[in-house]
Amino acid sequence: MGMDIEKLISEMTLEEKASLLSGADFWHTKAVERLGIPSTMVSDGPHGLRKQDEAGDHLGVNDSIKAVCFPTASATAASFDREMLLRIGEGIGDACQHENLSVVLGPAVNIKRSPLCGRNFEYFSEDPFLAGELAAALIEGVQSRNVGTSIKHFAANNQEHRRMSSDSVIDERTLREIYLPAFEIAVKKAKPWTVMCSYNKVNGEYASQNHWLLTEVLRNEWGFDGYVMSDWGAVSDRVKGVAAGLDLEMPASGGSNDARIVAAVRSGALDEEAVNQSVRCILTVIDRYLSHRKPETEWDMEGQHQLAGKLASECMVLLKNEDHVLPFGKDEKVAVIGKFAREPRYQGGGSSHINSFRVESLMDALAGKDNIVFSQGYDTENEEADEELITQAVKAAAGCDKAVIVAGLPDSFESEGYDRSHMRMPRCQVELIERVALANPNTVVVLYNGSPVEMPWIACVKGLVEGYLGGQAIGAATKAVLWGEVNPCGRLPESFPLQLEDNPSFLTYQGEGNTAVYHEGVFVGYRYYDRKKMEVLFPFGFGLSYTSFSYSNLQLSASEMDDTQTLSVCVDVTNTGSRSGKEVVQLYVGAPECEVFRPVRELKGFEKIELSPGETKTVTFSLDRRAFAYWNTKLHDWFVADGDYTIQIGRSSRDIVLCRSVKVEGTVPEPQDPVSPDSIYMDLEKNPKAMSVVEPLFQKMRETFAGGDEKESDSAASEAVTDEMTQAMIRYMPLRGLLSFGGGSLSYDQLLEIADQINNMQ
């Protein structure tokens, strides 16, 4: 017996309706007591709860209630595991029911355009398909508990620098192919109850008042049916925002913007129906939440801590394992070095910061274990090496069979609110690694960081585990991976360039003043490095295991198809090693040469499977037209070009193990520009109607160039004009070239008539 929303709307005064369109305070929607509409609470997100009871601020200064910090998105993305995100979502959903929170503010799905973005630890990937699929799973998990999510920050919020004023200037195709699809996939698959718009402008208009983004794309194209809320303080022109589809302003504007909404309706500047529509969206979500309240839901924090640890271990990425230095044997004496081994960095700073009820470090997890020697190695407050700490660490390492250094980025290096200015680790850590590695040849590094770092020391060490910011049980997870209780199965959700300067956005990242032009277009991350065949430190999708896998029997359901059909792809994967393990099977599609620049491969499928030694499983993927399509800016729609596409199965974007091709025919005709005297031959050639008219005319020109009627004395000159040259000259020749080189029998007016005639042909 939910709310009768239409009745409520009809009974509300304009002032009451306007009041509902902004927060009561930092975290609550407003109540209308007269009509029995209660206030509801929202809370950050996205990897656990940051519920602030009183005096809420959004900078993490005021304490929030004790909660569980799951692995952050930087880590969970490396799991390539939808099931994992579902589990985390369910856990967060239960916690929300327990704490009476109607919406959790996440997931955050912005694309990692540059390794420098301060919030990369909260984001999933440089790849929109991966980000979208994982976000959808998290949303499904939370919402299965009848609690809403707020996918954020919509859209193109890829830097913290000037985050509240910067204008992300992105061409249409790049927006559609790179920066919007993670939202699109999640909205279509998982139907988030709310969306949070970003602070920045998108192509000149604040996201919070961008009608194209919030209404045309989000609602009309993707079918979003919840409410859009602003990021905290993202509203500029509130009236414009209501008209654009921004339903809820957060946190609140002291009543000032509510009054502006009322005045705008009264003056006729804003249609009251837009206000009604926002009220409808907000009340629908509130009603959905209230109708399914389960206040008795248990929040098993201890159980969630165990889960967080188990999941974190499956996010860790084994990047180097020379001479099988890992896993450590149970009797080996190991020097555990690094402050992070005692005080791990496991989450990032800012609005996602969680007040963990418990933190488990590597040293906590190793308590009671023999053969462990700890040494601090570095301080997180200082960039410069502390000679005494290093000397102690070197000594500890020299006296052990193996050494592991837990290193990474301190809080001050990356956070919400600002970007990094470089990709380096603190100097004290680099020096520590180099010197410990000299003292013990069996040295392993574990990294706790939210974003890639440069590794000038990589050749010195035998082992490397990327642990990302793995949540409050990161220590248990680290131990499980290092000592082989868990077989590492994470894969990099982003490329690690050798150096910052290699990143495709390097030259113009952060923009000039408030204008950030995304010059690199669709060539983000591996799409760029692969196309350029550039050496990277570690490629997208890469990760090792303590076992090995082989791939065979790649089969496609068709070798030819049209774009209305679905292609089914099967491949067998076998565990060829001696222990159980999980493999991430990655499917990339490579497009044929066509009108637009395309990456050599793009991720269009991934599955994580578990295999016992010797076991084989068949993995099946299904590809629809979107897997082949690019965004066509003439059609303003997805378009499949005819041609041979390659289906590539890989262990990473750089290790394609099996490949087959399929001929795909697009059923939508390629859009043609209207013919004019400026149309050139090679474009006219694609248009049979045009060719039926212009080919005879160009033939005449061809003969002229070939010197068909030249005199004897001109033969030397004609030898200089080869067939290739003639062909090239014709290929790029505009129709109007017929006036100069076509024998002189045509006038410009006649050309216009010819163009008209072609354009009007049925």
- Just list the catalytic residues: 231
CB 424 within 8 A of CB 456: no
Our finding on whether 414 is near ligand BGC (CB under 6 A) is no
634 touches 173 (CB < 8 A):
no
Report the residue number, 231 or 247, with the smaller CB distance to ligand BGC.
231
Helical segments of 535-687, H only: 681-684
In the chain, the amino acid numbered 643 is G
**What is the sign of the dihedral through the CA atoms of 356, 474, 345 and 76?**
negative
Closest distance between ligand BGC and the C-beta of residue 22, in Å? 14
Residue 117 binds to ligand BGC (criterion: CB under 6 A): no
Rounded least distance, CB 44 to ligand BGC, Å? 5
Is 105 one of the binding residues for ligand BGC (CB under 6 A)? yes
The 488-517 site mask, x for binding ligand BGC (CB under 6 A), equals: ------------------------------
Q: Are 697 and 682 in contact (CB under 8 A)?
A: no
Among 51, 58, 625, 736, binds ligand BGC (CB under 6 A): 58
C-beta of 196 vs 430, nearer to ligand BGC: 196
Of 58 and 238, which has the nearer Cβ to ligand BGC?
Answer: 58
**Count of positions on this chain that bind ligand BGC (CB under 6 A):** 7
Say if residues 122 and 74 touch (Cβ distance below 8 Å).
yes
Which tokens belong to 66? 């004790």
Local structure of 174: helix, strand or coil: helix
Per CB under 6 A, contacts with ligand BGC among 617-646 are none
**Rounded least distance, CB 49 to ligand BGC, Å:** 12
Q: Does 232 bind ligand BGC (CB under 6 A)?
A: yes
- Shortest separation between residue 211's beta carbon and ligand BGC, angstroms: 22
Contacts of 653 (CB under 8 A, 6+ apart): 495, 526, 529, 530, 539, 540, 541, 586, 588, 601, 603
Strand locations in 2-144 (E) = 42-44, 66-67, 103-105
- Write down the least CB distance from residue 234 to ligand BGC, Å: 8
Binding mask 327-366 for ligand BGC (x = CB under 6 A): ------------------------x---------------
Backbone angles phi, psi at 677, to 5 degrees: -60, -20
What is the chain's percent helix, strand, coil content, to nearest 5? 35, 20, 45
Residue 231 interacts with ligand BGC (CB under 6 A)? yes
Residue 222 Cβ, how far from ligand BGC at the closest point, in Å?
Answer: 21
Nearest distance, CB of residue 139 and ligand BGC, angstroms:
15
Which CB, 84 or 105, lies closer to ligand BGC?
105
Smaller CB separation from ligand BGC, 74 or 375: 74
Among 152, 240, 260, 353, binds ligand BGC (CB under 6 A): 152
Tell me whether residue 44 or residue 502 sits nearer to ligand BGC (CB atom).
44
47 near ligand BGC, rule: CB under 6 A: no
DSSP E strands, 110-174:
148-154, 167-169
Q: Closest CB to ligand BGC among 122 and 602?
A: 122
Least CB distance from residue 157 to ligand BGC, whole Å? 8
Identify which of residues 514 and 718 has a Cβ nearer to ligand BGC in the complex: 514
CB hemisphere CA count around 726 (13 angstroms): 18
Cα–Cα nearest to 328, from 369, 359, 360: 369
What is d(CA 268, CA 262) in angstroms, rounded to the nearest whole number?
10
How far is residue 76's CA from residue 109's CA, in Å, rounded to a whole number?
12
654 binds ligand BGC (CB under 6 A): no
| 484-487 long-range Cβ contacts below 8 angstroms, 24+ apart | 484/326, 484/327, 484/328, 484/546, 485/313, 486/313, 486/314, 487/545, 487/546, 487/547, 487/579, 487/580, 487/581, 487/582
Binding-site member from 18, 28, 44, 235 for ligand BGC (CB under 6 A): 44
List residues binding ligand BGC (CB under 6 A): 44, 58, 105, 152, 231-232, 351
